[in-house]
Structure 1
Amino acid sequence: SSVVAHAVTAAVAVSAPFRSAAVPVQVAATPAMPVANHLRPTDDALFVAGAGFAPSANSFVEGEHRVIIHTIEGQVKRGTIRDADLLEDVISLEQQSGFAPERIPGKRVKAIFFMLAAGARQPQAEGSKIRVTFNDGRQVAGFSQDFKGHTPGFFVVPADTRTNTARIFIYRSSVQAVAEG
């Protein structure tokens, strides 16, 4: 089954040259808060629940990550994020070393694609298989454990293992429908 339809396919295909030395993403849990992420822990960067959000929000991404940000206007921006809360009012995207990061308003972001590090394997897919239809009609398919919540965003691990995308953070405000199966 195809992970992505329409123009999102082009974005994932274009992302292939962006293999980087970014660390793989991992899940970290505090004893009082269950974590609803999809990757198995490693000794690298952490995902932890963001302060003030439900435990399944897991919106804080620690460390440096190579990403592709899709905006609701259809823009595609490539770069690096560092120690970012994905639900902040502004996402700081570093596109070139030595230059000030671009500040992208969070309300304009449709989805953030986290790229695999060079030589990294696809994460273990866990949760329900879903197909997300965005407000612009584009679709992405994958596996998610936290899509049913009422948090402002959720993670999806792509169903297509040929992609260079480790996971996708999808902003619920940009979603028209989510279908299971």
Structure 2
Amino acid sequence: MADVKVGNIVEFGGNVTTLLSIKPGAERDMEKALGYAEGRLSKGYFVLLLRQLPAHDDFKLAGYSYFSGGRIGKPRMVAEKDTLREHLQEKVLREHGLDGVLHRKRIAREGMSVTGRHRIAKVLPVIRHDSSKPPAQQYPVGGGVPQFELTRPRKFLVALEVTADGTAIARDFEVNVKTGGYEARRRLRVYMENA
């Protein structure tokens, strides 16, 4: 994570959501919504903002965060068994064919943005993935916020770092989301929608 510094452009794949799901100052609610284990954001995290919309072949349909990892069923205690859960896009392909997948991807892309509340964003916890822990412990079923799985690295702006003490560090300002109240959170929201 050496290049993950506010203001840098970095490349990441994996699961993403919309900015609506990211609420600095409400970390436990974010953990529940996104499907992170309790405490995963406690040491801080980064908010990454997608710079360019993904093409149809750059992402998989992953539904909502109650599909942990975009897969159907509860996450497993053994990683090898967890990967056997059917991926949502595979189910759509099986039930509706390629036209069904492409149709749903078109609809998904129409709702994506690189500015505003619906922009595609990624939360990158300081506490990284631990391959010694089972998926069920690290990635419980989430609260049902939109998610997509980027199948190849895409460019993101590292827009924000939120530290363990609640300091939110943007490119040109800092606020504390624990003590700054509504005005601090509003300022961050406007910044993230337009960065």
TM-score range, shorter chain: under 0.3
TM-score using structure 2 length: 0.24
Q: Which has the higher strand share?
A: 1
Q: Which has the higher helix share?
A: 2
TM-score using structure 1 length: 0.26
- Name the structure, 1 or 2, with higher relative contact order (CA <8 Å, separation 6+): 2
